[in-house]
Structure 1
């Protein structure tokens, strides 16, 4: 959500800024812009389309400069409009880009308006720009320091001033910001990925840090203006967007990358022990007596799926919380609770806040499940498990979800082993299942042509119901989420047993009902639920295990999956739901990789 790229270079910095924005497009945005200092004044170009269009406008204008800032904006305060797009100027002196939300912007705006400042946008960002200008007395870093001391909320900012043309100042609190160093050139970005073509040396700023970049070097201070030391780290160049190859969209490509991603997340013959999670003490998990899983959206659904594993395999009580709700209600903490924040980006503001809230209650056993090793949530946690999904460009998560499930399953088995509930024979069986998972997933992906035919039918509707039971109920939720995210069809997921308690009223011959039907202990009950839908002339689409004894009949369409895959069955059953959502969206002609109003990395509350 939103992306910052800024820099002070010994060359025209604009190509670096634009390339950085391209690398951050995966985060989601509805406007973009770039500004540079040239001929003693700030100049900018802003666009309500894509970065490629911004690039074209920049070239037509001939915009060049050694000092610049750039941004992709996901609208919060103020609709997507040119006047609200970043960079934002103050008095044609200060230029700023900003991620985050300023909670006290209205009060600050009243004060600044009283001081004579006029507002050209509806953004909270313009408040920061004018506030910095009001404090500016020849030292940009000091003006930024004084301004941010008045802000409440989350922010990452990059600022330049026409009076100091070889200087860029950044600051962060609650929103990620890194410094990239390349000789005498210095850069700021929301994500190291944005700068991976110009440097591999990064400084990760901490909350309250202010970064002062110039040709004389980089210095970091705290909110009190005292110098602080932040270690520079050398990172292997993160992989950038690969070519689409035979795929139409990145989402389709990422769906088909899942067999490889899950095999890399838990390599064959890996051991189920605490060292997998960065713990040096083999008995690190021995005292854990409860699990608290924190997540938002898709990560919340992975937590709901994993709850069954923790309780059945490790025999440990497990609580699942939506991050944005957990931090604002009274809870009963436990000193031996293992708090597990789950996030694809590791920068999800609600989940990071929930993690810090749990720690404030004395729950110090924390373990992050994340796809980014350098992220804030990983750094905030005692232990971590880094999934190996690789970069995920499509906004709707696919391979990040399945690799989260693998990580959570591995954690469940590890805890079961540490607690004495998983013996050597069971451990070997779980390892065998994980080792064969990649091949099983490839078998599921082979069903794509059949799924495409279903997608053409479902694309004609405006609403759909997804059903599952047991550990497959969260998979139904995830399937519904994927359909609504990218096709804009209203969809809801329900436990199949709850049909008669309300949702059955929605069923007509125009209502598609998608069912995930593993051959588990609830199959016969699920078949009864299917008959309840058919009796109301609902159109039923079932993904059924090969040994589930379900076949095509009037009003009942069946795609046969591989045979039942035991506890890991939910991972197999989510893939066809991803493909169904994808091909439905393609049929409807929506922007699959960048659906409207959504962002990849949600770094605001």
Structure 2
């Protein structure tokens, strides 16, 4: 019998290598950036994906708006081919970017096939598989070391998100942001190792009945992904919300035995910490993932520092992922379920 997690663990642990390979790949695909992102004729860029890829799309669109200062949205792929009038109203020029690890997701392919013939739409994509159906249908950025054996996305999510953010920084001419991303790639291996050592005892020593992830801005998509990761791997009940939005009704579910994991930004730090303090008063175990700890975080039950406080929140995004992925992995192992092959799931979803 094969050991549980034999694919997922090394794939989480190898993401730093995947980030550095993505930077090399971007140099080789510089024409993709010029062709698709440096384009004054595009009124709106639409990122589409399904599941984890949709959450990537949310993070990508957020950084696109912040760094390029242009309109961008993100939709589930199915919304684009089934509800086009709501997602791509006429009289605008669109760039639709498909996001898919495998490049074989039926919904992404159907969406791109549906809109590619339209005169006001251009299509592109990002994937880990250069010979995939999506790569043949649309010009794709490729994360060469994002390929995975496990069903769940880990290093593929990190490397594709990182690759697109780097492409956006290039397109925007934001050398400072690109240099920060290069620094992320250099420090990610240390963060991965530190996250592994931090998360395992946290899971071993506690018994969380439900988990809530909170994040704002680009971190909202990451919070959704973190929620999906622990749900896929371990079947534990979990949800994700915008940090301040959680106070408007959903906080009623907080009680002892609840883990509230807050992805702390520097931009909204003071406001977000007020929410975290309130959740602790309700009995939650509060875990903060942050660039830096301080006197203002001392109230929390656990604080994991990723570093990079001098960076923008957006550039620092993927440094938050290792701890969140290990949280899913070690929770699965504690519950004696295999994170490599979650029940009811396959690596590629087809209709």
CA contact (8 A) 1:550 1:558 kept: no
The answer to whether residue 146 in structure 2 is matched with residue 399 in structure 1 is: no
SS of the residue corresponding to residue 267 of structure 1 reads: helix
Who is 1:558 aligned against? Answer: 303
Distance apart, 1:255 and its partner CA: 0.8
1:541-593 Cα shifts (integer Å, max 9, x gaps): 1112225544444x622122213232221111111100111111111110110
CA contact (8 A) 2:214 2:242 kept: yes
1:499 to 246, 256, 264: 246
Report how far residue 399 of structure 1 moved.
1.0
> Residues 549, 356 of structure 1: CA spacing in aligned structure 2 closer, same or farther, 3 A cutoff?
farther
SS at match of 1:393: coil
Q: Distance in 2 between matches of 1:358 and 1:585?
A: 40
Q: TM-score, normalised by structure 1?
A: 0.54
* Secondary structure in structure 2 of the residue aligned to 1:568: coil
For structure 1, list consecutive stretches of 5 or more residues without a partner in the other structure. 1-49, 53-243, 417-421
Q: Residue 479 in 1 paired to residue 194 in 2? A: no
* Structure richer in strand, relative to its length: 1
When the two chains are superposed, the root-mean-square deviation of aligned CA atoms in Å is 2.5
- How many Å separate the matches in 1 of 2:120 and 2:93? 7
CA contact (8 A) 1:464 1:514 kept: yes
Could you tell me which of 167, 172, 195 is aligned with 1:411? 167
Superposition pairs of residues 367-378 of structure 1, within 5 angstroms: 367-378=124-135
Deviation at 1:462, TM superposition (A): 3.2
Number of aligned residue pairs: 345
Alpha-carbon distance in structure 1 between the residues aligned to 2:33 and 2:290: 35
Does structure 1 conserve the Cα–Cα contact (< 8 Å) formed by 2:80 and 2:111? yes
- C-alpha distance in 2 between matches for 1:408 and 1:591: 30
- Segments of 4+ in structure 1 off by > 6 A? none
Q: TM-score, normalised by structure 2?
A: 0.91
Q: Which has the higher contact order (CA 8 A, sep 6+)?
A: 2
- Matched with 2:8 is 251
Q: Cα deviations across residues 48-72 of structure 1 (Å, max 9, x unaligned)?
A: xx9x9xxxxxxxxxxxxxxxxxxxx
Query: What is the aligned partner in structure 2 of residue 455 from structure 1?
Result: 203
Structure 1 residue 362 displacement after superposition: 3.1
- 1:332-375: CA deviation from partner (whole Å, max 9, x where unpaired): 14563111000000010001111112224434411110111111
How far apart are the structure 2 equivalents of 1:271 and 1:343?
Answer: 20
User: Does the residue aligned with 2:244 lie in a helix, a strand or coil?
Assistant: helix
- CA separation of 1:315/1:278 partners in 2, compared to 1, >3 Å: closer, same or farther? closer
Structure 2 runs not aligned, ≥5 long: none
Q: CA deviation at 1:457?
A: 4.3
Matched, 1:543 2:300: no
